[in-house]
C-alpha cells in the first residue's frame, strides 16, 4: 500500500455522516500515528520488513479501517504518512495530501493545536486548518489544498503563499 493507495482508501472509508460529528471528540486524542490493532499473522512486505497481515492505524485519534498493504509494512507506511501529512491547528486531526484546507489567522483565533500546526506563509499569521464541520464553524472555509509539495492556494492571486513541507513555525 503506497501513500496514494492509502489516501484513496482512507478517503473512501472514513467519511462520517454529519449526524455522527458529535460522537467524535472535538480535539485529537493522541499525538502519534501508531498501530491500533493488528492481525496475529505476519508476512514480509516489499520494503523487506515483516509485519502483521492487516492492521488498523490510529492517526491522532482518527482510526482507519483494517488495512492490508502489499508494498509497505505498517512502520514504513506510518513514516510516509507522517512525512506528508500535517495537523489542523484547531482540532489537531490529520490533514492528508489532497484535502481541502482553510487558513486561520492566529492573531484573531485561539487555536489549541497551534504549536503542532503548519503556517501557510513564512513568518506570518496564517496557519492551516481542516474543513471538518467543527472547524468550519469557526469561520474557516476551503481556500487551498494541502499537497505533498505544501499548501497550494485555490486562487492564484497570491502565488507567494506556500510553505516548506512540514515546517512548523511558531510566532513569538
Ligand atoms: Zn517497512
Ligand atoms: Zn480541524
Å from CA of 42 to ligand 2 middle: 35
Count of beta carbons in the 10 Å neighbourhood of residue 81: 21
Q: How far apart are CA 51 and CA 41, in angstroms?
A: 8
Q: Can you give the pLDDT at residue 12?
A: 72
Looking at the CA of 77, name the nearest ligand: 1
Å from CA of 12 to ligand 2 middle: 19
Q: Can you give the pLDDT at residue 165?
A: 41
Phi, psi of 116 (to 5 degrees): -110, 0
In degrees, rounded to 5, the angle at the alpha carbon of residue 116 between the alpha carbons of residues 21 and 52 is 70
Which residue ranges make up each domain of the chain? 24-84, 86-172
Q: Can you give the pLDDT at residue 15?
A: 58
Provide the strand spans (E) within 3-158: 33-38, 42-44, 50-52, 55-59, 62-63, 86-87, 94-95, 100-105, 126-129, 144-147, 150-153
Q: Can you give the pLDDT at residue 160?
A: 45
Å from CA of 156 to ligand 2 middle: 24
pTM of the shown model: 0.83
Å from CA of 74 to ligand 1 middle: 7
Q: Can you give the pLDDT at residue 18?
A: 52
| Pairing, β 86-87 against β 100-105 | unpaired
Å from CA of 50 to ligand 2 middle: 34
Q: Can you give the pLDDT at residue 103?
A: 95
Q: What is the mean pLDDT of each run of 10 residues along the chain (172 residues)?
A: 82 60 81 97 96 95 90 96 96 95 92 94 85 89 93 70 40 34
Looking at the CA of 24, name the nearest ligand: 2
Cell of 29: 486524542
Amino acid at each position: 500500500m503506497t501513500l496514494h493507495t492509502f489516501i484513496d482508501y482512507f478517503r473512501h472509508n472514513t467519511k462520517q455522516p454529519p449526524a455522527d460529528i458529535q460522537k467524535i471528540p472535538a480535539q485529537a486524542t493522541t499525538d502519534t500515528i501508531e498501530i491500533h490493532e493488528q492481525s496475529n499473522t505476519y508476512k514480509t512486505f516489499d520494503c523487506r520488513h515483516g509485519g502483521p497481515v492487516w492492521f488498523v492505524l490510529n492517526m491522532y485519534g482518527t482510526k482507519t479501517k483494517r488495512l492490508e498493504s502489499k508494498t509497505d509494512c505498517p512502520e514504513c507506511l506510518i513514516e510516509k504518512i507522517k512525512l506528508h501529512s500535517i495537523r489542523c491547528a484547531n482540532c489537531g486531526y490529520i490533514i492528508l495530501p489532497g484535502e481541502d484546507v482553510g487558513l486561520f489567522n492566529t492573531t484573531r483565533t485561539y487555536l489549541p493545536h497551534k504549536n503542532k500546526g503548519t503556517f501557510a506563509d513564512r513568518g506570518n499569521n496564517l496557519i492551516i486548518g481542516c474543513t471538518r464541520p467543527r472547524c468550519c464553524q469557526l469561520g474557516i472555509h476551503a481556500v487551498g489544498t494541502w499537497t505533498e509539495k505544501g499548501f497550494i492556494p485555490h486562487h492564484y492571486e497570491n502565488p507567494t503563499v506556500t510553505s516548506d513541507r512540514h515546517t512548523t513555525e511558531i510566532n513569538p
